[in-house]
Chain A
């Protein structure tokens, strides 16, 4: 079906492209927000550095913390992780879900003063398809055309109702940059885009500075800030993102007034500061999921009964309590409890059993021979290592010898790709759970699945059902199938949802924790 013969149908509503919801799941107790005030500068103390300032090439949370101030996309996510229009003012999806027509907002200018037009969008997407680690999102695209300066038409090779779910992701945001930057290779572009802040400088590791973009055009379609989108306003003149890897330095720097806000504050320190009138602390829970994929090809976890024994042995409350200093919620599922996909009968899953007798019985039934289990993790993120250490003690307690392998991040990942080297990998997912089921496909099914199963028809069928589902009920049912399959086969040990503490000076107004730190729509009193 060619797009010229398309039968246009507004399907935005069906796809959940909604105006901001009135209640946010992560909302704080109402903050005494003063009247917005322009001016002032803020220093954000981050725990990790971004690896790149090329939005198409970036992927990590550390990158989002800094770069989402500068960059914007056609479709982004709202507070709940649902898709929301940002640089597009309208989206029409053809009835067969094969043609997506974006109407661009007018008068949006890049930080170099040039107005953003359809050509910039087309070229940006084309560059994305070349350089981005997430270029697979554009694989379904057949053609991109620009009938006029403010319309972009994307035609897919096959009908795909969930395509918006793929392109909304802020991990490797599908950022619109000026067309003249689009021929440049990864890491070679000038960081010019359309966000409320514009890039000043970056020293590569320790600090990145942005300042307010005076000609920023806020998105009037929305009332206020919403996720990465909504009506964004920069009140601050300048924001400096500093990388302060030592948590105690972030805390003491905040107390000394060197920083406006500190990310990932240790819980004991946050509790100590709560009583101070100069400091405000924030809970961001959940921020990510601690979980552990199990390798089904290497003994002893090649035996499903051994995997189930481990599942019954785990006391996830203790694991999460230590790995998060008490800031966690128990959750057996791979979506958050407020998600529309959350299985209604989640309590039937095997989770947080702490049942050593049952575990030992299962081991006996399995004919377990005493093979050593290798538990892999990375020391670069403390909570992953802490979860692994506690898990190891619990697994040892049912009589399985455990070798904990703690490597730095690249080393651990190299090992994760070798199915002969380990049994269980203690890791975390940050963005997937928030974006919903669709982002999981390549991790838990198909040839690249993290458990190394060769064939699982139940799983693949459930995925087919999910991707082709027409109604929300069907989708929920398919996802529930997947969740229960993961639990039943003990492919994936879900440990819990982790929270983090952030803390700012009391002068910072209207801040709310989110996936990344957002310094727009905040001001200093």
Chain B
């Protein structure tokens, strides 16, 4: 390669996504978020492969034992290791978080894109979304989870329904912003179909706000799972979700606080990581902030 060619390569501005990626990896919060999230992922893998032991193993002789060398986080009233249960619970929380994010992404995009792109549907769709949003989010999730019956799948569905209106609104406003943009108009004039326009031109431009929103949905889903399990409408025990472990410690709050303290800290840690990720993504991807 000649020197001239190198010089040309250097002076060529990087493509925008590469620029963003570079900015992202200089964002301290984002990096901490990545570190936290990776830790949780490692725990998830450990739980999946059963490296921490059997979360349901009952040990009658060591019930309600405080944190020790044998049991890092102590044991519950069945003599089960809280540490093992928390590690095993990680994959459930991840599963719930990721599934809720996945379903919300699809349903929110469908709802938002159709409302934003087809003005005739807008009114009807948004009124339905308003009806769902007329409930405080947790109350709606409780009602849906109770109606569907407790269980992992039903909890995921309940949370996805709860968060869809919010995500739908974000996608809708992004779509409204670009629907009349020049390149969309020209695509329309050149005879492209609705589906093609939505898929090729509109949705890619909604990705940034969607991605930011979904990170926060992930965080909310983990918090909501814990709250719903605590109220008794989450996945039924003995499934060791983090919320269930906290709930099972309620009766022993004073005499064996470790049962509830550790999973609570782990939830806070995980949600903190997700919030940092979301903040980082927003700082970098949000066009209003980029220009500064």
Contacts and interface: CB of A to CB of B under 8 A. Distances in A.
A405 interface: yes
B216 interface: no
Interface stretch (B20-28, B181-189, B230-238): B230-238
Contacts of A408: 146, 150, 232-233
A379 interface: yes
A238 B201 CA distance: 74
A406 B256 CA distance: 24
B250 A386 contact: no
A390 interface: yes
Given A322-B78, A379-B232, A390-B58, A268 B237 contact: no
B9 interface: no
A389 B250 contact: no
A252 B254 contact: yes
A386 B58 CA distance: 11
Contact of B60 (A269, A322, A379): A322
B261 interface: no
Interface string A122-160: 000000000000000000000000000000000000000
A318 B254 contact: no
Contacts of B79: 322
A251 B254 contact: yes
Interface in A374-419: 379-380, 382, 385-386, 389-390, 392-393, 404-408, 411
A-side binding surface: helix, strand, loop or mixed? helix
B255 A272 contact: yes
A376 to B, nearest CB: 11
Interface in A104-119: none
B252 interface: yes
B255 A389 contact: no
A385 B56 contact: no
B199 interface: no
A407 B254 contact: no
A407 B58 contact: no
B253 interface: yes
B254 A269 contact: yes
B236 A268 contact: no
B63 interface: yes
A318 to B, nearest CB: 5
A321 B78 CA distance: 9
A247 B251 contact: yes
A268 B255 CA distance: 6
Given A386-B77, A389-B237, A411 B149 contact: yes
B254 A325 contact: no
A268 B63 CA distance: 11
A248 interface: yes
A474 interface: no
A321 B60 contact: yes
Given A407-B150, A408-B232, A390 B254 contact: no
Interface in A236-294: 246-248, 251-252, 266, 268-269, 272
Most buried by A among B79, B251, B253: B251
Interface residues of A, number: 28
Interface residues of B, number: 24
B115 interface: no
A377 to B, nearest CB: 9
A379 B239 CA distance: 13
Contacts, number: 68
A404 B77 CA distance: 18
A216 to B, nearest CB: 37
Interface string A141-185: 000000000000000000000000000000000000000000000
A290 to B, nearest CB: 15
Contacts of B232: 379-380, 408
Contacts of B57: 393
Nearest to B253: A248
B56 A393 contact: yes
A269 B255 contact: yes
Given A321-B60, A407-B149, A407-B236, A390 B255 contact: no
Interface in B200-241: 232-233, 236-238
A266 B76 CA distance: 13
A379 B237 contact: yes
Interface string B69-93: 0000000011100000000000000
Interface in B22-65: 56-58, 60, 63-64
Contact of A266 (B60, B150, B238, B251): B251
A126 to B, nearest CB: 38
A406 B250 contact: no
Contacts of B233: 408
B258 to A, nearest CB: 13
Contacts of B236: 379, 404-407
Given A246-B250, A407-B236, A386 B255 contact: no
A390 B30 CA distance: 44
A148 B128 CA distance: 67
Most buried by B among A266, A321, A386: A266
B150 A406 contact: yes
Nearest to B60: A318
B80 to A, nearest CB: 9
A408 B255 CA distance: 26
Contacts of A389: 56, 58, 78, 237-238
Contacts of A390: 58, 78
A379 B232 CA distance: 7
B250 A248 contact: yes
Given A389-B238, A404-B238, A408-B232, A266 B252 contact: yes
A268 B250 contact: no
Contacts of A386: 77-78
A406 B241 CA distance: 14
Contacts of A325: 77
The 4 closest A-B pairs by CB, nearest first: A406-B236, A268-B255, A248-B253, A247-B251
21 contacts: A246-B250, A247-B251, A248-B251, A248-B254, A251-B254, A266-B255, A268-B252, A321-B60, A322-B63, A322-B77, A322-B79, A386-B78, A390-B78, A393-B58, A404-B238, A406-B238, A407-B150, A408-B150, A408-B232, A411-B149, A411-B150
Given A322-B78, A385-B237, 17 more contacts: A247-B250, A248-B250, A248-B252, A252-B254, A266-B255, A268-B255, A269-B254, A322-B58, A322-B77, A322-B79, A389-B238, A390-B78, A393-B58, A404-B236, A404-B237, A405-B236, A408-B233
